[in-house]
Amino acid sequence: MEKIVEIAKIIARNVSKDGFNATLIERVTLVRSSTVTMPMPNVYRPQLCLVAQGHKEVTLGDHTFKYAPGRYGVVTYDLPVVGHVVKATPNEPYLCLYLDFDPVMLGDLAARVQPMPGAPSQPIGKTVSDASAALLDAALRLLRLLDAPAALPVLGPLAEQEILYHLLAGTEGARMRHIVSSQGPVAQVGRAIAWIGKHFREPFSIKRLAMEVGMSPSSLHEHFRAVTAMTPLQFQKQLRLQDARSLMLVHDLDVTTAAFRVGYESPTQFNREYRRHFGEPPARDIARLRALPDLKSY
């Protein structure tokens, strides 16, 4: 626990406010929350999330992942999730480290690092595990460079590679390799996720999506659900609803305009699905969010 305590101290020293804080390290973001937060949708990109203090919960489809100090999450695709901080106070805020994966660095290492024998190749695009002492050591070395900026250009890539090495050589190795793989059904699902991310406002059929990625509809449905815990149409629906919520909250669009903008043809259907997903009708939900003093998504 000494390592995670030191990691928490470094994060606390290098964040100036609650929310997401950029750092001198290109792909590293530090997060602080002094309070618990309400569940909010977000799209997680391929990254590592290591929690140093506090607790967080993230829901993907029907899976709920629980973070605590010393636990880390790995995301291998752009995934729509709902996350919230469940334990934090001003004296002991929630603190975590995000490291976005560099696909070039990861691909080079994946070709040279042998996977752990017998490690399960679970395809789901997100998981949470307990960090090993070696992974915490590597994260600590990377964060210490925030206090030694002159050494960062030389030692930063080495520390980052060490983190990726431990992920590739450990129980997450098979999952990590899916990020850079261009072959097999999981790679095809990755292409399907990217396609939906670009076209989620447009109507499409499973047959069309399957043709786009070179799979049969039944195979796409099976493997897509294994990776994302959702069907392709459920995935599209979550992206549409999150986008509509953002349009109303940030850009002040009215409910009907937002519904049409994200691809809904029926405002009635939009209202029904929005309420089912967020728990309240759109207008009431947006009014409640605007009344919150400091709204953030974790």
Verify that 75 and 157 share a domain, yes or no.
yes
Cα distance between residue 44 and residue 193, in whole Å: 12
The vertex-17 CA angle with 13 and 18, nearest 5°, equals 110
Cα distance between residue 144 and residue 82, in whole Å: 31
Verify that 218 and 270 share a domain, yes or no.
no
* Least reliable range by pLDDT among 135-144, 180-189, 197-206: 180-189
Verify that 193 and 274 share a domain, yes or no.
no
Verify that 74 and 141 share a domain, yes or no.
yes
Using alpha carbons, select from 112, 102, 94 the residue that is nearest to residue 34.
94
Verify that 55 and 148 share a domain, yes or no.
yes
| Domain count for the chain | 3
Cα distance between residue 244 and residue 262, in whole Å: 6
Domain range for residue 214?
Answer: 182-229
Which pLDDT band, with edges at 50, 70 and 90, does 196 fall under?
very high
Residue with tokens 């060490």, as numbered in its chain: 162
Verify that 59 and 159 share a domain, yes or no.
yes
- Which amino acid belongs to residue 264? Y
Verify that 37 and 157 share a domain, yes or no.
yes
Verify that 36 and 70 share a domain, yes or no.
yes
What pLDDT does 179 receive? 81
Tell which of 179, 202, 217 closes a domain. Answer: 179
Verify that 126 and 197 share a domain, yes or no.
no
Verify that 77 and 218 share a domain, yes or no.
no
89-103: string of b/e by CB count within 10 Å (b at 16+)? eeeebbbbbbbebbe
Q: Is the predicted pLDDT of residue 122 greater than 80, yes or no?
A: no
CATH code, domain with 91: 2.60.120.10
Verify that 39 and 155 share a domain, yes or no.
yes
Verify that 107 and 218 share a domain, yes or no.
no
Q: Is the predicted pLDDT of residue 169 greater than 60, yes or no?
A: yes
